[in-house]
């Protein structure tokens, strides 16, 4: 049985993760590479329930610690019931967000102690580390404009309705995180959709993941 790969896409609002994940999934499908697409917060029944608490409702209803613990609980269930069993069975997985979002949103921007966040995260992910994480980097002014076009703000308002300075901090957090690991790749998300896709493929080939 060939070993599957596990990769994550990260980035701020409107960075184009969903478009790139769809394109990559099609590329892989055309080459008969079976892949499971998933998304955080969510990815399994219990995590989807937790997602509703996190992304809907009043922007100030949870503090950063409660938010992080809920993201972590959702992540742990996602890994325990879906990601780990699938990887163990040789499947490949692409996730739209993973723990780098918690490092960035809850620790770097939210102010939670990094060691604490890292320790809980290590427990939550049960050793399931993505081989590669793509950070799609975009100026938040452009990202927010794109997200608005998609009317993202209508349904799931809680996380996205924060101020520009916050989104700039998120961008900085992802870029800083990328400096800490060769497995985190920053891609300029202001390029065309095709250029970004080509970069993604190039990196996956370079790492011999495809
Ligand atoms: P979502 O509606 O899934 O949108 P997208 O991923 O396309 O931005 O929103 C999820 C929100 O949750 C998003 O604003 C990022 C945030 N988030 C965290 O703050 N921490 C996390 O660990 C995760 C996974 C997401």
Complete domains list, the chain, with CATH? 6-206 (3.40.50.300)
- Give the closest residue to 69 by CA, choosing from 124, 11, 114: 124
Question: pTM score, two decimals?
Answer: 0.94
Give the residue, by CA position, lying nearest to ligand 1 atom 14. 159
- Give the closest residue to 69 by CA, choosing from 126, 116, 104, 108: 116
Determine contact, residues 8/134, Cβ cutoff 8 Å: yes
192 C-alpha to center of ligand 1: Å? 23
Higher pLDDT, 16 or 59: 16
What's the rounded Cα separation, in Å, for the pair 4 and 89?
8
Per-residue model confidence as pLDDT tens digits over 138-191: 999 999 888 888 765 555 554 556 788 999 999 999 999 999 999 999 999 999
Pocket probe mutation, ligand 1, options 97, 151, 166, 177, max atoms within 8 Å of Cβ: 97
CB atoms within 10 A of CB 86: 18
The helix (run of H) or strand (run of E) holding residue 9 is strand 6-11
Q: Does residue 38 have a pLDDT over 90?
A: yes
Assess whether the C-beta atom of 41 lies below 6 angstroms from ligand 1.
Answer: yes
Q: Residue 148's pLDDT is what?
A: 80
CA dihedral 41, 45, 46, 48 (to 10 degrees): 30
Pocket probe mutation, ligand 1, options 65, 105, 106, 150, max atoms within 8 Å of Cβ: 105
Least confident of 59-63, 128-132, 183-187, 198-202: 59-63
- Give the closest residue to 75 by CA, choosing from 38, 111, 112: 38
CA 22-190-75 angle, to 5 degrees, is: 50
Assess whether the C-beta atom of 97 lies below 6 angstroms from ligand 1.
Answer: yes
């Amino acid at each position: 049985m060939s070993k599957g790969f596990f990769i994550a896409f990260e980035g701020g609002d409107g960075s184009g993760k969903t478009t790139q994940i769809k394109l990559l999934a099609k590329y892989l499908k055309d080459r008969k590479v079976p892949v499971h697409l998933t998304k955080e917060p969510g990815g399994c029944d219990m995590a989807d329930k937790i997602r509703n608490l996190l992304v809907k409702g009043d922007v100030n209803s949870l503090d950063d610690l409660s938010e992080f613990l809920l993201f972590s609980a959702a992540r742990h269930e996602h890994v325990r019931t879906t990601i780990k069993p699938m990887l163990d069975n040789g499947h490949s997985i692409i996730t739209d967000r993973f723990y780098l979002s918690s490092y960035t949103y809850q620790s770097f921007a939210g102010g939670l102690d990094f060691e604490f966040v890292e320790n809980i995260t290590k427990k939550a992910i049960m050793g399931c580390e993505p081989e590669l994480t793509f950070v799609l980097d975009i100026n938040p002014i452009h990202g927010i404009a794109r997200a608005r076009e998609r009317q993202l703000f209508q349904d799931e308002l809680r996380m996205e309705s924060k101020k520009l300075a916050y989104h700039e901090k998120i961008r900085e957090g992802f870029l800083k995180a990328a400096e800490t690991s060769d497995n985190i790749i920053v891609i300029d998300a202001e390029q065309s959709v095709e250029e970004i896709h080509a970069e993604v493929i190039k990196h996956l080939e370079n790492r011999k993941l495809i």
